[in-house]
Amino acid sequence: MRRGTTRGGWRRRCRSTPTRGSCYGDLAAIVRPGLDGIILPKVESATGLATADWLLAQLEREQGLTPRAIDLVPIIETARGLNQIDAILATGTRVKRIAFGAGDFTLDVNMAWRRGEAELCGKLR
């Protein structure tokens, strides 16, 4: 968990991967008053995002927190995630923003990533 204020105004945020077996444990350890959002790396499907949303809803209820007060920020970092982006964004979850992990994406698609990033522009269109 990181503390401090970011440009988005988040005071606390955490990274947790929905496909890891420890996702529930990660979320249970950090869901409490004052948590503004959770960054979910390597989101590749709507199911993974919906599962994280459902777990978070249960933990908010257990902690007596306002429902859906904690944001989820999925990071698209693989070709599969990019391919599924429409479904991921249509899940109706608490997602208000999304991030793109260019470094992991270029590794996933075996692409040389150069300083000017021109190769990413062609792939993302």
pLDDT tens for 60-71 read 999 999 999 999
Structure tokens at 70: 């904690």
More confident residue, 12 or 115: 115
pLDDT tens for 6-30 read 444 444 445 555 555 667 888 888 8
Write the Ramachandran bin of 2: left for phi over 0, alpha for psi from -120 to 50, otherwise beta. beta
pLDDT tens for 39-59 read 888 899 999 899 889 999 999
How confident is the model at residue 21, as a pLDDT? 60
Q: Which domains does the chain have, with CATH numbers?
A: 2-124 (3.20.20.60)
Give, in order, the Cα–Cα distances in Å from 99 to each of 22, 40, 83: 22, 9, 15
pLDDT tens for 70-106 read 999 999 999 999 999 999 999 877 999 999 998 899 8
Residues 114, 111: Cα–Cα separation, whole Å: 9
